[in-house]
Structure 1
Amino acid sequence: MSRMKKRKMVKWSLLAGVTLLLTACGSGEATNKDSVYELSFNIQVPSTHKFHTEVVEPWAKLVEEETEGKVKVNIYNSGALGTLSTAYEDIQGGVYDIGYVSPSLHPDTELFPLSIGDLPFGISDPFDSTAVLKPFMEKYMAESLEEVIPVGISGTDSYQLYSEDPVETIHDVKNKKIIASGYQRVDLIELWGGVPVSLGLEEIYTSLDRNTVNQATYTSIGAVGLKLYEVSPYLTKIDMGNTALLFLMNKNSFKSLPADLQKLFEDELGPKFETMNSELYSSASENAINEFDKAVSEDGGRVITLSEKDLQSFKEPAKVVWDDWVKLANDKGFDGQEMMDFFTKTLEEEGLTLPY
């Protein structure tokens, strides 16, 4: 599939994200003050993060311009209205109007099927996340979501490994405390012989700075946004896969908007937001790695590229995680093997390969 087609597909994902912005914080409907609809958009990163500066903030300005001031998007940084671990419940309950969720953080909800998108060394590019997960979602989750409107599905850039000491072989992670999000990455780190630690994004920097953890898995764009180069001078380029991002809007919030504004968000503003998000995470990751390298090189830090043999030693345990996903899906009442077959077939159609 061409990159242009992928971008068109990605537009579907962000459509939801834009729609979410229209809801009022904590009300379950868009706040209307003097004919201006105020929408709360909760994001987990600080105002210095590229997701804020290059996606959310310019998009909020675009919303105000395109609606001629009828809609104002209020951005809440650093999880001010709720953490990523409670995002799904918060959006359902109208704590805020628009937000995004990582399905792997909600394995006991109806979002579980989408956690397949976070399987290690599976999907690394957000355009691929849309191309692979949109048909998967339509096939297995078309009628399972309640109180929310899916506005789109995309992803982050790929996760790398950040450390206080160089990581050049799998032996360098043995018995190390490693920050990880999503149960698949947690399981993988245990298979490596490491000790996974689950923390919120807002705790990554502090934990590395205080040496309460030794290493962290995080995206290259996110690492620069959090300035991890200040506390973790080594980046091992491992490309262990990205995090699927499902953009959601509280259903009541969307329905409370006038019909013309709903249509504007669906036809123009939503797709624009999705495109901005996917283009950021697809194109800027290498620049972020270079920026990290430049920031740490003067103090002896560096970006480490593994040999194919050493990289494969990190990849091989992923097969256990993929097999365990099928078993867990079966335990939850799904046909796990059928879902996996559909997923891997779509991966192959998109030109992606399995890690094992």
Structure 2
Amino acid sequence: MIKRTVMSIAAFSAASMMAFSVSAAEVDGPEVNWNLSVWGKERAFTSSIETIRDYVAEKTDGKFNIKIHYGEALSKSRENLDGIKLGAFQMAALCTAYHPAKNPTLSGLDLPFLPFPNLRVQSTVHEAYYQHPAVAKDMARWDAMLLMSSLLPQYEFTGVGDPPLTLEDWKGMRVRALGGIGEAMTKIGAVPTTVPAPEVYTSLERGTIEAASFPFTYAHVAYRLTDIGKWHTANMSPGANHCPVVVNIPAYEALTPEYQQLLNDAKAPAYEALYEAYEAADAKNFPLMKEKGIQAITYSDEELAKFREVGAKPVWDEWIAKMNSDGYPGTELFELIMTTSKQATN
């Protein structure tokens, strides 16, 4: 249930403001108090919303306050979009794969094996996608405006047993793979299963599954897969959950133009904070994985092309056909992803 209890806005600690310390407001305006709903605790994933919070507070000398409520304190993660619609809070993080029927156009960013070589290309594609009129209209049904992406890194697999050095080696393998990644692995011949994240370690240890996909590298370490894994894929990049930050449209429209501009201006440092947080996790985790003797599997361009032809293209084609039949511009949206990615990569 969405918690409707009115939350008091706590004063910002000095530590939270160190990154943006000034002596006076750069933007004058009224006092505004917003609440933001997110699950879990402070981590790399939340570095963007924390940067936005600090940025707007600093620029207004504390008059524009965004209170982040962690741990599903305001809403269950799968109900954040409903909470935005109800106006229970003004901002929220959400993952579109949790409820694809509620945000059909955005399910395009959950497709497997999209050509995102790094997070900067991924953010460029996401931002271009958000600007498409069909996407904006889709989200407006929920009184939601897409502010930015939380940029989950591409997933990779950690596993036990014989390492899958080719596409054929995956056939019959029991893997933990969700959403679009699970669909792709089915096409490849693996046997996907849905295992809650806290149970993945035990499942891998007991042999219930032979490999598990998580955002790479921080989630593999966080869930201790590196304690029992014998190998990991290094460049398979089968996909990633799409998790945007959204804003309640009536609340946004009630802001002064200057405050609206501040939210937009905050996106650049927020994206930089995400890049840095994930890069810091990799810098720490790669040596750890090497130290543990976990074999890194790097596929050739030719082998990756096979993965996309067998595991990705059928899923892409099915998504495009369904979107078109449901009255959405599936072909146009998919081409937007591919074209923007190519342009951003070159």
Structure 1 length-normalised TM:
0.72
How much has 1:206 moved relative to structure 2?
Answer: 6.1
Task: Report the aligned-residue RMSD.
Answer: 3.7
Q: Are the counterparts in 2 of residues 221 and 284 from structure 1 also a CA contact under 8 Å?
A: no
Whether 1:70 aligns to 2:63 is: yes
C-alpha displacement at 1:122, in angstroms?
1.7
1:292 to 279, 282, 285: 285
> What residue is the counterpart of 1:161 in the other structure?
157
Cα distance in 2, alignment partners of residues 98 and 104 from structure 1? 19
Structure showing greater Rg: 2
Give the aligned residue type for 2:110: D
Change (3 A) 1:172 1:286: farther
- Partner Cα separation in structure 2 for residue 206 and residue 36 of structure 1: 49
Flag the 1:57–1:282 CA change in 2: closer, same or farther, 3 A: closer
Alignment of 1:196 with 2:192, yes or no, is yes
Instruction: Select which of 242, 247, 251 maps to 1:244.
Output: 242
Aligned 8 A contact 2:119 2:275 in 1: yes
- Residue 220 of structure 1 and its aligned partner are, at CA, apart by 1.6
8 Å contact from structure 1 (residues 220, 285) kept in 2 = no
Mapped partners of 2:76, 2:209: distance in 1: 21
TM-score (normalizing by structure 2): 0.74
Q: Determine whether 1:151 maps to 2:143.
A: no
Q: Give the C-alpha shift of residue 225 in structure 1.
A: 6.6
Residue equivalent to 2:105: 113
Residue type of the alignment partner of 2:238:
M
Deviation at 1:142, TM superposition (A): 3.4
Verify the 8 A CA contact 1:30 1:37 in the aligned structure 2.
no
Identity among equivalent positions (%) equals: 22
Distance in 1 (alpha carbons) for counterparts of 2:300 and 2:176: 24
Structure 1 residue 292: deviation in Å? 2.8
Moved beyond 6 Å, runs of 4+:
32-36
Aligned 8 A contact 1:117 1:123 in 2: no
The one-character-per-residue Cα deviations of 1:131-188 (angstroms, maximum 9, x if unpaired) are: 3344444232333323222223463322222223434333443333323333x22210
How much has 1:284 moved relative to structure 2? Answer: 5.8
Aligned partner of 1:175 in structure 2 is 172
Structure-2 separation of matches of 1:181 and 1:219? 12
- 8 Å contact kept, 2:51–2:270: no
* 1:65–1:209 distance in 2 versus 1, CA, 3 Å: farther
Q: In the alignment, does 2:139 pair up with 1:142?
A: no
CA distance in 2, matches of 1:295, 1:227: 14
**Partner AA of 2:286 in structure 1:** D
Number of residues of Structure 1 aligned to a counterpart in Structure 2? 319
Quick one: distance in 1 between partners of 2:73 and 2:174?
Answer: 27
Structure 1 spans left out of the alignment, 5+ residues: 1-24
1:320 deviation in Å? 0.8
The letter for the 1-side match of 2:186 is E
Cα distance change, pair 340–57 in 1 and its aligned pair in 2 (3 A): closer
Deviation at 1:327, TM superposition (A): 1.5
Contact map agreement 1:64 1:70 (CA 8 A) in 2:
yes
Matches of 2:38 and 2:192, distance apart in 1:
24
The code of the aligned residue for 1:39 comes to: W
- Give the distance between the partners of 1:333 and 1:244, measured in 2 at CA: 22
Q: State which of 175, 180, 183 in structure 2 corresponds to 1:187.
A: 183
Distance 1:96 1:203 in 2: 32
CA contact (8 A) 2:176 2:193 kept: yes
If asked which structure has higher relative contact order (CA below 8 Å, sep 6+), I would say 1
Q: State which of 183, 204, 212 in structure 2 corresponds to 1:216.
A: 212
- SS of corresponding position for 1:40: strand
State the alpha-carbon separation in 2 of the partners of residues 156 and 83 from structure 1. 19
Contact conserved, 1:162 with 1:236, CA < 8 A, in 2?
yes
Preserved contact between residue 233 and residue 296 of structure 1 (Cα < 8 Å): no
Letter in 2 for 1:43: V
Matched AA of 1:98: M
Partner of 2:58, secondary structure, is helix
Q: 1:185 to 1:72 in 2, by over 3 A?
A: same
Which residue in 2 is equivalent to 1:304?
297
Match of 2:19 in 1: none
Q: State the 1:239 CA deviation.
A: 2.0
